[in-house]
Structure 1
Amino acid sequence: MQDIEYLQRLAAELNRLQPSVDLYNELVGEQIRKNKCQLLTIAGASRELGVSRETVEEMLMDPALPRIFVGKSQQVRLQFSELIKYISNRAANWYRYSTRK
């Protein structure tokens, strides 16, 4: 019975958050089209997202985030459009990434 109540609360929360996710996706859509091929460093990605470098490095632990390696030192670069797609997917599926239970 507790599982059903938990799932009902989770579904209600998802329904409450869906308009915010839709608005976010709409707002970043234009930005994606403008910067489709731009490559970002980790520092650049953190500036674009308004998060710390450590947060971007944590995201890079997820193999679902596409990245390329450049130069002899194999520095990480993130394609702007792919980064936004990843963030959008993560926002839409926040419950998979949440540490709260």
Structure 2
Amino acid sequence: MTIATTAKFLGISRDLVNQLLQDPGCPRMVFNNGGTIRIPQDLLLDYVKGRSLNWYKY
């Protein structure tokens, strides 16, 4: 998913998705020397689940 579709999928802003991407644990695939980012939906769901279970660490 793109950053925009990820934001829509999660019901958050694009800026918040970009903040999530600052976390090295947030899944992403980077293409074209960092120019294109795609976020795999299945891995994103695992990441969000992990963050929700460990919310106190963030």
Is the TM-score greater than 0.5?
Answer: yes
Aligned pair count?
Answer: 58
CA distance in 2, matches of 1:83, 1:55: 14
CA distance in 2, matches of 1:61, 1:72: 17
CA-CA distance at 1:51 after TM superposition: 0.2
Following superposition, which runs of at least 4 residues in structure 1 exceed 6 angstroms of deviation?
none
TM-score, structure 2 as length reference:
0.91
Give the CA RMSD over aligned residues. Answer: 1.3
Q: Does 1:70 align with 2:31?
A: yes
Percent identity between the two aligned chains: 36
Cα gap change, 1:84/1:74 in structure 2, threshold over 3 Å: closer, same or farther?
Answer: same
1:13-60 superposed Cα distances (whole Å, 9 cap, x missing partner): xxxxxxxxxxxxxxxxxxxxxxxxxxx000010000000001100000
CA-CA distance at 1:73 after TM superposition: 6.0
Query: Can you give the 5+ residue segments of structure 1 that lack an aligned partner in the other structure?
Result: 1-39
CA distance in 1, matches of 2:20, 2:14: 10
